[in-house]
A and B are shown apart, each in its own frame.
Chain A
Amino acid sequence: MTDAVITADPGDEADADAVQRAIEEKIYGFWLCLISDAIIFALLFAIFVVMAQNTADASAGRTLFQLPRIFAATVLLLASSATFGLASVAIAARQRGRVIVWLGMTIMFGLGFVATEITEFHGMAVADAAPWRNGFLSAFFALVGTHGAHVSFGLVWIVLLGCEIALRGPTPIAASRLYRLGLFWHFLIIVWINIFSFVYLPRLL
C-alpha cells in the first residue's frame, strides 16, 4: 500500500460528466423496473395458461374474439412503435418540431389502440362475457387489461414529456427521458405480441 491512496476523486469530474453518469444510472435502473414489470406480466400469463380451460361451459374462443378488431389493434400499436422510433431519431437530431409531431402521431395510434380495446371489453361485458363470468375470462381481463392500463399510463407519460420538450426544448435530460419512455413503450409492444400469440391466435385459428 503506497501513499497513493487518496487520489481518485469524483470531484474532479466535470459537471457534464456527472450529468452523463446520472443518465446512465437512470437507464440502468429503468431496466430493473422493467424486469419487475415483466415478471408481473409473466405471472399474469402463467395464470392465464392455468385458467384457460376454466370456462364454466361458456364460450371461450371463436365467438368471443373478432379477428379484424384484434388485427386493427395490433397494427395501431405497431404503428405507434414505429412513430415513437421516429421521434427518438428526431430528438437525436435536436429537431424539436419533428419530435412533437411524431409523439403526437404516437399518441393518436395509442389512443386508437386503447379505444379498440375498450370497445372489445365493453362488447364482451354486454355479451355476458364479463370478468366475473368464469376463471378464463377473469384471467383474460386481468392480463389484457393490465396491458391496456400500461398503455394508457404510457400515453399520459408521452403527453407530459411532449409538453416538456415543447416548453424546454430537446435537452439532453429530455432526450434521456424519451429514451427510457421508449424502452417502456417498446416493451409494451413486445408484451402485446405475446398476448396476440398466446391469447388470441390459438382461439381464432
Chain B
Amino acid sequence: MLGKLTIDALPFYSGIAMAGALTVACGAAGVIALITWLGQWRSLWSEWLTSLDHKKIGIMYVILALIMLVRGVVDALMIRTQQAFAFEPHGYLPPDHFDQIFTSHATIMMFFVAMPFVLGLFSMVIPQQIGARQVAFPFMNSAGLWLTVSGAALVMISLVVGRFSAAYWTAYPPQSGMQFSPDVGVDYWIWAVLLSSVGSILAGISCFVTIVKRRAPGMRLMMMPLFTWTALCASILIIFAYPSLIVAAALLGLDRHLGTQFFAGSDGVMNYISLFWIWGHPHVYILILPACGIYSEVVATFSRRRLFGYASLVYSMIAITALSLVVWLHHFYTIGSGADVNAFFGRAAPLIAVPTMVTIVCWSLTIYRGQVQFSVPMLFTLGFIVTFLVGGITGFLFAVIPPSIHDTTFRAAHFHNLLIPGALFGYFAGYQYWFPKAFGFRLEEKWGRRAFWCWIVGFCLAFMPLYILGFMGMPQRLNRSNVADWQPYLIIAQAGVLFIVCGVAFLAVQIAVSIRDRKALAASSNDPWNGRTLEWATASPPAVYNFAAVPRVQSVDPWWALKQAGTADHRPTRFHDILMPGKSGAAIMLGAMSFVFAFAMIWQIWWLAAAGGLGMFAAVVSQTFHDHAGHRIPASEVEAIESRRVLAPVLGREAPT
C-alpha cells in the first residue's frame, strides 16, 4: 500500500536530524496557521498562486530563493562547526549525517537558491527592461516556477520523511549507485534535480523568446541593457546545457532501479562525469552571467555614467557563453582522461579569463571619474570586483599547477569565491536595486550596509583559510581530521560562517525594518535611483500591463535619453484596450502533482504515482484546451490608472545617499 514507506522513515536515528525535521514541520505548520489566521487563503490563491503576471512570478521565485538560502546557510553552519571541532575524536555529527548535510547544502544552493534567484530576477525585470507588457509564455513561466518549488519541497521533505542523498551534490557513481546508497536519499536528489531542470528549461525558453520577440520598437540587439544581454546568454545556456543533466540523472535512476549498466565500470563512471559537467560548467555561467548583467546596471546607475565599453561588454558575455560550452573537462583533470584531452581543455579553460578581464576593466573604467554613490547595491558590486579577482586568479592555478591542489579545500574555496561574490552578491545587488521597482519602497540602507559588511568579512574569513588548507593538502569533504596544523584555520573559517549567518539575519531585519518604515522609505518617485533603462519608466510598483504606451527606443539607456530630452513625463494622447493573460490554476496543479508523482516514485507507491502522473497530465491538458485570450483592460481603466500615477506627488529624482 505504501511501498517502501514505513514508520522507520521518520528520523529517529539522530536527535539532530529529528530537530531538523521538527523545525521544517513546525515552520510549515506555522505558515499555514498564520495564513489561516489572517484569512488570506482566498486572496493568496487568486492574487499570487494562480497569477500569470511575470512580476508576481518573479517575486515568488525570489521568495523561494531567500527561504532556501536560510536552509543552505544553516547547512553550511553545521558543516563548518563539525569541521572546526572534529579534531580527534569525531565532532558532533556521524559521518553519514555529515555527508547528507554536505550534499543538501550544495544541492540547495545550486538548484534552489541560485537558479530561482536568477530566474526570478529575469521574470521580474526583463519584460520591463525591453519595454514588453508580458513574457512570451506566461503559463510556461509559471509552470517553471511551480516545478522548481516542487523540487525544493522534495529536498525539504527529505528532512522529515526518509533521508537525503549522502553521495554529494555531483552524485558520482558508484557511490550514488544501489550498492553504496541503498536508501532513498539519492532518489530524492534525482527527482529534485529532474523537476527543477525541467522547470528551468521552461523558464529559459520563455525568457529567450521574450527577449527575441518582444523588445520595444526600435530596440536593436545592440541597444539592449546588459542585464537583458546576460539573460539572453544564460537562457541559451539553459536550453543547451540542462538536457545533459536530465540525461545524467535519469540514467542514474535507471541504473539504480532497473539494474542497467550505464555507469558501471570505469568507462561508465567517465560517462556520468562527462554528462554531469557538460551541464555543470555552463551552469556556472548561467549563474554568473546574470550577476555580471546586474553589476553592469548597478555600476552605470550609481556612477551616473553610461557604461564604459558597452560593445566590449556584450562581446565578452557572448564569448564567455560560447567558451563555457567547451571547457567542462577541467572539472576532472585528475581522473585521467589522457594527456591530449587534458591538454586541449587545459588550454581552452584559461581563455575565459580574457573576456572576464575585459568586463572587469569596463566596470572599473565606468566607475573611474563617475560620480559614485556608495549605496548598498554598489557596495555589493565593489565587493564583488575586489574578491572576484582572487577567484579568477585561483582558477588559473588549476590550469597550470600540478594536480596537488585538485580535490582539496583549495577547490572548494575557489568555487565559493566565484559563486558567493561572483553570483550571490550580484543577486543581492539586484534584489536591493529592484526592490523599490517591485514594491514601491526602498530597502532600509543601514541594515543593508551591515548585511553587506557581514557577508564580505564572513566570506573572506570563511574561504581564505580554505585556500591555505588546500596548499597544506587538506582533502575536501572531510568529516574529521587528525592533523593538528589544520585546526586553527578551520576555526577561523567557522568564525567566517558565523559572520555570514549574521549577514543573513541582517537581511531579514532589513526587510522587517523596511516594511515597518515603508512610508518613510516610499520611493520619492517611480525612479528612485535615477535609472537609465526602461524598467524605471514604469510606475513602481508597475501596473499589471507595465507600459500604457511603449516608448520607441533609439539608443542604449533609453530612459536616460528620455529624461535628458525632457520628454520622460509625456503622457500618451490616447489610450487603448490592453489584453493581458488571465489567471491559471493549472501551473500550480502541475507543480503539486509533480511533487506527488516524484514522492510516490521515490517510495515506490505505485498507485499514488499513477494518480500523480494523471494529475500532471490533466493539468497540462486543461491548459492546452484553454483558448481564452485573457482578459481585456478597457482603455478607460488604463487611463484612470495612468492618471492616478501622474497625480501622485513627485518629489524629484534625486536618489538618497
Q: Does A57 contact B (CB under 8 A)?
A: no
> What residues on A are CB-neighbors of B254 within 8 Å?
131, 138, 142
Asked whether, in the complex, the Cβ of B239 is within 8 Å of the Cβ of A32, the reply is yes
Annotate A36-73 by CB proximity to B: 1 below 8 A, 0 otherwise.
Answer: 11011001100100110010000000000000000000
Kindly identify which residue among B209, B264, B275, B570 contacts A43, using a CB–CB cutoff of 8 Å.
B275
Contact (A5, B240) CB under 8 Å given A11-B577, A47-B271, A50-B267: no
A80 to B629, CA, bound (A): 33
Asked whether, in the complex, the Cβ of B567 is within 8 Å of the Cβ of A5, the reply is yes
Asked whether, in the complex, the Cβ of A138 is within 8 Å of the Cβ of B267, the reply is no
Q: Does B30 contact A (CB under 8 A)?
A: no
> What residues on B are CB-neighbors of A32 within 8 Å?
205, 208-209, 239
Q: Does B283 contact A (CB under 8 A)?
A: no
Annotate A7-22 by CB proximity to B: 1 below 8 A, 0 otherwise.
Answer: 1111110010011010
Q: Does B516 contact A (CB under 8 A)?
A: no
Asked whether, in the complex, the Cβ of B261 is within 8 Å of the Cβ of A132, the reply is yes
Annotate A114-156 by CB proximity to B: 1 below 8 A, 0 otherwise.
Answer: 0000000000000000011011011101100000000000000
Asked whether, in the complex, the Cβ of B205 is within 8 Å of the Cβ of A1, the reply is no
Q: Which residue of chain A has its CB nearest to the CB of B571?
A: A6
A89 to B136, CA, bound (A): 28
A137 to B258, CA, bound (A): 12
Which residues of chain B from 553 to 583 have a CB within 8 Å of any chain A CB? 554, 561-562, 564-565, 567, 570-572, 575-579
Q: Does B244 contact A (CB under 8 A)?
A: yes
> What residues on A are CB-neighbors of B275 within 8 Å?
43, 47
Asked whether, in the complex, the Cβ of B209 is within 8 Å of the Cβ of A142, the reply is no
Q: Which residue of chain A has its CB nearest to the CB of B545?
A: A11
Asked whether, in the complex, the Cβ of B251 is within 8 Å of the Cβ of A6, the reply is no
Q: Does B85 contact A (CB under 8 A)?
A: no
> What residues on B are CB-neighbors of A160 within 8 Å?
621, 624-625
Q: Which residue of chain B has its CB nearest to the CB of A18?
A: B579
Q: Which residue of chain A has its CB nearest to the CB of B238?
A: A36
Size band of the interface chain A makes with B: 35 or more
A160 to B214, CA, bound (A): 30
Interface stretch (choices A23-31, A91-99, A102-110, A193-201)? A23-31
> What residues on B are CB-neighbors of A54 within 8 Å?
261, 265, 267
A28 to B212, CA, bound (A): 10
Q: Which residue of chain A has its CB nearest to the CB of B635?
A: A11
> What residues on B are CB-neighbors of A9 within 8 Å?
549-550, 572, 576
Q: Does B644 contact A (CB under 8 A)?
A: no
Asked whether, in the complex, the Cβ of B575 is within 8 Å of the Cβ of A11, the reply is yes
Kindly identify which residue among A29, A37, A135 contacts B261, using a CB–CB cutoff of 8 Å.
A135
> What residues on B are CB-neighbors of A15 within 8 Å?
579, 629
A142 to B263, CA, bound (A): 13
A4 to B551, CA, bound (A): 9
> What residues on B are CB-neighbors of A5 within 8 Å?
551-552, 562, 565, 567, 570
Annotate B194-213 by CB proximity to A: 1 below 8 A, 0 otherwise.
Answer: 00000001000110110011
A141 to B214, CA, bound (A): 42
A47 to B278, CA, bound (A): 13
Contact (A8, B627) CB under 8 Å given A54-B261, A135-B268, A138-B260: no
Asked whether, in the complex, the Cβ of A11 is within 8 Å of the Cβ of B554, the reply is no
Q: Does A166 contact B (CB under 8 A)?
A: no
Q: Which residue of chain B has its CB nearest to the CB of A11?
A: B576
Q: Does B247 contact A (CB under 8 A)?
A: yes
Asked whether, in the complex, the Cβ of B206 is within 8 Å of the Cβ of A29, the reply is yes
Annotate B245-281 by CB proximity to A: 1 below 8 A, 0 otherwise.
Answer: 0110001001000111110110110010001001000
Asked whether, in the complex, the Cβ of B550 is within 8 Å of the Cβ of A28, the reply is no
Kindly identify which residue among A4, A25, A132 contacts B136, using a CB–CB cutoff of 8 Å.
A25
Asked whether, in the complex, the Cβ of A11 is within 8 Å of the Cβ of B209, the reply is no
Asked whether, in the complex, the Cβ of B247 is within 8 Å of the Cβ of A1, the reply is no
Q: Which residue of chain A has its CB nearest to the CB of B625?
A: A164
Asked whether, in the complex, the Cβ of A3 is within 8 Å of the Cβ of B246, the reply is no
For the complex formed, measure the closest distance between the CB of A190 and the CB atoms of chain B, giving whole angstroms: 17
Asked whether, in the complex, the Cβ of B239 is within 8 Å of the Cβ of A36, the reply is yes
A54 to B216, CA, bound (A): 55
Kindly identify which residue among A1, A4, A19 contacts B629, using a CB–CB cutoff of 8 Å.
A19
A43 to B576, CA, bound (A): 49
Asked whether, in the complex, the Cβ of A132 is within 8 Å of the Cβ of B262, the reply is no
A28 to B259, CA, bound (A): 39
> What residues on A are CB-neighbors of B278 within 8 Å?
43
For the complex formed, measure the closest distance between the CB of B499 and the CB atoms of chain A, giving whole angstroms: 41
> What residues on B are CB-neighbors of A135 within 8 Å?
261-262, 264-265, 267-268
**Residue from A15, A32, A134, A168 whose CB has the most chain B CB atoms within 10 Å:** A32
Asked whether, in the complex, the Cβ of B260 is within 8 Å of the Cβ of A6, the reply is no
Q: Does A33 contact B (CB under 8 A)?
A: yes
> What residues on B are CB-neighbors of A168 within 8 Å?
627
A123 to B251, CA, bound (A): 23
Asked whether, in the complex, the Cβ of A173 is within 8 Å of the Cβ of B550, the reply is no
> What residues on B are CB-neighbors of A33 within 8 Å?
205
Asked whether, in the complex, the Cβ of A39 is within 8 Å of the Cβ of B240, the reply is yes
> What residues on A are CB-neighbors of B370 within 8 Å?
none
A7 to B554, CA, bound (A): 12
Contact (A35, B239) CB under 8 Å given A7-B552, A29-B205: yes
Extra A-B contacts (18), CB below 8 Å, given A5-B551, A8-B550, A9-B572:
A5-B565, A6-B549, A6-B551, A8-B216, A8-B552, A19-B629, A24-B213, A28-B212, A28-B213, A29-B140, A36-B201, A36-B242, A43-B247, A54-B261, A54-B267, A132-B258, A142-B251, A160-B624
Q: Can you name 8 A-B pairs with beta carbons within 8 Å?
A: A1-B561, A8-B550, A9-B576, A15-B629, A32-B209, A47-B262, A54-B267, A135-B267
Q: Which residues of B contact A (CB under 8 A)?
A: 133, 136-137, 140, 201, 205-206, 208-209, 212-214, 216-218, 239-240, 242-244, 246-247, 251, 254, 258-262, 264-265, 267-268, 271, 275, 278, 549-552, 554, 561-562, 564-565, 567, 570-572, 575-579, 621, 624-625, 627, 629
Which 5 interchain pairs have the tightest Cβ spacing?
A11-B576, A8-B217, A1-B565, A132-B259, A138-B260
